[in-house]
Amino acid sequence: MHHRADDKVVLKDSVSEPTIALVGNPNVGKSVIFSLLTGKYVTVSNYPGTTVEITKGTSSFDGGGHRVIDTPGANSLTPRSEDEKVTRDLLLSQNSTTIIQVADSKNLRRSLILTTQIAEMGIPMVLALNMADEAKSAGIHIDTKKLSERIGTPVVETIATEKRGINKLIASLAAAAASTLRVEQHPRLKVAREKIAGILPETPVSREAVASMILAGDHGLDKWLKTNCSEAEIGAIRAVVENAQTHFREPLAYVIGKRRLDYIDSLVADVVRIERKENTTWAKRVGDLSQHPIWGIPVLLFVLYLIYLFVGKFAAGTCVDFIESIVFGEYINPAVIWLVSKLPVPLIQDMLVGKFGLVTMGLTYAIAIVLPIVGFFFLAFGILEDTGYLPRLTIMANRIFKVMGMNGKAVLPMVLGLGCDTMATLTTRILDTKKERIIATFLLALAIPCSAQMGVILGMLGKIAMSAYMIFIVVIVLQMLVVGFLAGKLVPGQTSDFIIEIPPFRLPKISNVLLKTLARVEWFLKEAVPLFLLGTFVLFVADKIGILGALVKVAEPVVVKFLTLPPEAAVAFVMGFLRRDYGAAGLYRLQEAGLLDATQSIVSLVVITLFIPCIANFFVIIKEQGLRKAVAMTALIFPLAVLTGGIVNLILRAAHYKG
C-alpha cells in the first residue's frame, strides 16, 4: 500500500535513459516480474487493479543500466478507465523504450489483442508467457517457437512466482524487436488511417498507431490534439473519422477490434494445442463455493469470523495485553519515567511521560495498541488477497452496489479500504465513471474503517459480546446502504457496465504474504508513528494552553448530552481528526479504564468509524477529486457521524442494552 510518483506527461519524450516498460492485461504478474528485475518489492495480489499508478525502479540484473517501469494492467490501449489511460499515456510519452509484454499463458488470445496494438506502435518488445505452469496443467500447449516467428519478437515462457524463466527473459531483451504482427484492416479503414496519419504532426510512436486510436474513438487524445494541431487539422481529422463511420453499421472501434480478433483467432489456432482435461482441483472447488449464490454467504461469514478470531481476539486481545501491560506497562514506561525523572525541567518531563506524554501516550498507542493489531490484520488480509477471494465478492455484491449507483467492481476499493482508506481512494481509479469514483471515495471516507481502526474496534467489541460486534456491523452497513442509495440517486452521471475478470483461486504463497506484510508494517511505522507523536505533541500543547479544555467544553453538550459519553471521549474524537485509529486507540484506553459501558463503547465506535477521514486520506481525496469536493464530503460526513451515533445511542438505551 505504498505507491508513489506518477508522470502526467503525454506524448512527449522525457528521458533518454533506456527504459523497460512492463505492460499487460490486469492480473498477469507484471508486478512480480518487476520485483524480479529490480529487486524492489511492490505489492502483489491476486486480483486486477493492485497497481493503479506507475512504479519506477532501476534494473538490478545489469547494475542499473535500465529504468524499469511497472504499469497498471490494461486490456486495451484505447483506454476507458483511468488506470488504463496511465499505461497508454506512458507508452506514448517514452522514446527509448523496450516493452516486456507480460501475458497470461492460459489467455493467449486476449493478450494478443494488446500485442497487435503494441505492434502497431512500432515499439520493440518481448513477449513473456507467464503462468506457464497453470497453462500446462489446464492442458494448453503453446508452440513458442512458431509464435515467435509469427509475431516477429522473442517469446519466453516464465513462471514468475517461482523465478523461472527470468534469466531467459533478460537475455531475450537484447533481441527485442518491433513486432511484425499486422492485422489487415478493412480497405476503407486503411485509407482513413493513412489520411489521418498524413495530417498528424510528429508523434513519438508510429503515426499509424495514433491514427488507429483516433479512429477507434479515443477521446483521451482530444487534449493532445488540441495543443498540437490547428483547428482546421482537427476538423479535417474529425471529418475523416465521420466519413469512415458512414461505411459501417457498427462503431469503428468494434469493426477494428473484430478484425483484430478474427486474425488472432487464426493465429492462436496455429500455435496453441489444447487437450481438454476435466480436472477439478480443490482450489477450483473452493473458488466456486465462495462465489456460489447460497454457499457464498456462509463462506463470507466464516471468513469474517476467522478474521474476528485472529485479529479481534488474538491480536487485539492476547497480543495487545501482553505488549501493553507487560512490555510497556512493566518495563518500558517505568524505565522511561525513571530516566525522565532525572531531567531538570518538569515541563519536558510532562511532555514525555505525562497525561499526553510522547512516550506514555503517543508511542504506547502506536506500538503497543495499534501496531500488533495492524500487523496481524495485514497478515490476514495479505492471505486473503493472494487467494483471489476478494474479486469473488464482486459477484456476490454486484446487485447491492447497483443500488448504490456503482457496480460490483466497486467492492474492490471498498474491501481494500479495510486495509487503508488512503490507498483504497487511489484504487477507485479502476472504476469507469466519475459518478462511481465520487460515491466510492465518499463511502470510503465515511463508513469503511481502516485496518488499524478496525483492529482496535474488534478488540473493544470483543471485550463486550458477539452481539456488540453484530450491532456494530449492522449499523455501519445500514449507514453505508442508506447513504449509498441516496448518493446513487443524487450524484449525477452514469453507472458503468459490470464486466470483471475473476482470477483463479490459488493457494497463497507464504513468502509473498510475509514480504507484503513486512512492507506494509514498515509503511505503517514510517507514516503513522510520526503522526501519532505529532498528534500527541499537539494535544500536549493544546492541553497546556487550555485550548483542549475549551474544545472539550464546546463538544460537551454533544458528547455528553446527545451521545451520553464521558467528557474524556471528546479528547479521543479530537485525536480522530488526525488519524481515526489514533482516536480509536484513545477510546480503547477509556474502555480499559472502565469509563465506557457496552452502549457507550458501541456509540463511540460508531461515531469514530463514521468520523471525518484522516489527514492522509483527506489529501488523497483532494488529489483525486479536488479541494471543493473534499471539503464538501468532510462537511457532510461530520454531522452524519454524530447523528448516527446519537440515533444508535437512543435505540440502545431504549432497549436497555447491556452487552
Partner 1 sequence: MSVGSGSTSESKEVNEVAWNNRRRWRGGKPSEEISKPVEFHYRKKDVDELLELIYMVKESGGEITVEELKKKNEDVSDVDELLEEMASAGLVTTRNGVVSFSENGTREAVKLIRAHRLAERLLTDVLLIARDGDVESQACEMEHILNPEIVDSICTILGHPSSCPHGKEIPDGPCCKDKKRTAAPAVLSLDQLQTGESGRVLYVETTNHSRLDKLTTFGMLPGTVIRVHQRQPSLVVLVGETQLAIDHEIAQNVHVVKIG
Binding residues vs partner 1 (CB under 8 A)? 75-76, 78, 80, 106-107, 109-110, 113, 135, 138, 140, 217, 249-251, 253-254, 257-258, 261-262, 265, 288, 291-293, 296, 391, 394-396, 398-399, 407-408, 432, 496-504
Cell of 221: 487524445
DSSP per residue, 411-476: HHHHHHHTT-HHHHHHHGGGSSSHHHHHHHHHHHHHH---HHHHHHHHHHHHHH-HHHHHHHHHHH
Exposure string for 365-380, b = 16+ CB within 10 A, e = fewer: bbbbbbbbbbbbbbbb
Question: Taking the complex as a whole, how short is the minimal distance between the CB of residue 398 and partner 1, in angstroms?
Answer: 4
CA distance 120 to 122: 5
Distance of alpha carbon 483 from alpha carbon 445, whole angstroms: 12
By beta-carbon proximity to partner 1, the closer residue of 333 and 394 is: 394
Closest approach, Cβ 408 to partner 1, in A, equals 6
Question: In this complex, which beta carbon is closest to partner 1, that of residue 407 or of residue 517?
Answer: 407
Shortest distance in whole angstroms from residue 399 CB to partner 1: 6
Q: Is 436 in contact with 496 (CB distance < 8 Å)?
A: yes
Going by C-beta distance under 8 Å and a sequence separation of 6 or more, which residues neighbour residue 255? 186, 189, 248
Q: Minimum distance between the CB of residue 245 and partner 1, rounded to whole angstroms?
A: 11
The three-state secondary structure class of 67 is strand
Give the residue with the Cβ less far from partner 1, 396 or 640. 396
Cβ–Cβ under 8 Å, residues 501 and 48: yes
Q: Which is nearer to partner 1, 377 or 401 (CB)?
A: 401
- Whichever of 412 and 454 has its CB closer to partner 1, that residue is 412
| Helix, strand, or coil (residue 126) | strand
Residue identified by cell 450491532 is 471
The minimum distance between CB 75 and partner 1, in angstroms, equals 4
Minimum separation from the CB atom of position 362 to partner 1 (A): 45
- In the three-class reduction of DSSP (H, G, I as helix; E, B as strand; rest coil), residue 69 is classed as strand
Tell the smallest beta-carbon distance from residue 159 to partner 1 (Å): 16
The 8-class DSSP code of residue 122 comes to: T
The phi, psi pair for 199, rounded to 5°, reads: -85, -35
* Rounded Cα gap, residues 375 and 6, in angstroms: 28
Pick between residue 407 and residue 644 the one whose CB is nearest to partner 1: 407
Considering the complex, state which of residue 317 and residue 504 has its C-beta at the smaller distance from partner 1: 504
C-alpha cell at 522: 514498515
Least distance (Å) between residue 126 CB and partner 1: 22
Residue 502 or 622: the one with the smaller Cβ distance to partner 1 is 502
Phi and psi, residue 113, nearest 5°: -60, -45
* Minimum separation from the CB atom of position 263 to partner 1 (A): 12
Read off the DSSP letter of residue 182: -
CB closer to partner 1 out of 46 and 422: 46
Pairing state of beta strands 55-58 and 97-104?
unpaired
Q: How far is the CB of 101 from partner 1 (least distance, A)?
A: 15
β partners of residue 178: 124
Q: Closest distance between partner 1 and the C-beta of residue 594, in Å?
A: 45
Question: What is the nearest approach in angstroms of partner 1 to the Cβ of residue 299?
Answer: 13
CA atoms within 13 A on the CB side of 519: 15
C-beta closer to partner 1: residue 388 or 586: 388
What distance in Å separates the CA atoms of residue 247 and residue 657, rounded to the nearest whole number? 71
Indicate the residue among 159 and 563 with the shorter CB distance to partner 1: 159
For residues 352 and 362, give the distance between their C-alpha atoms in angstroms, rounded to a whole number: 9
Distance CA 151, CA 494 (A): 39
Minimum distance from CB of 249 to partner 1 (Å)? 4
The DSSP symbol for 504 reads P
**Is 110 or 195 the residue whose CB approaches partner 1 more closely?**
110
Q: What phi, psi does 50 have (nearest 5°)?
A: -65, -40
**Closer residue to partner 1 in complex, CB, 19/81:** 81
Closer residue to partner 1 (CB): 297 or 510: 297
Q: How far is the CB of 407 from partner 1 (least distance, A)?
A: 7
Residue type, position 335, single letter: A
Q: In whole angstroms, how close is the CB of 252 to partner 1 at the nearest point?
A: 10
Under a CB-based contact definition with an 8 Å cutoff, are residues 203 and 11 in contact? yes
Q: What are phi and psi of 203, to 5 degrees?
A: -125, 150
71: left (phi over 0), alpha (psi -120 to 50) or beta: beta
The whole-angstrom separation of Cα 10 and Cα 85 is 10
Closest to partner 1 by CB, 117 or 158? 117
Q: Which residue has the cell 478496525?
A: 454
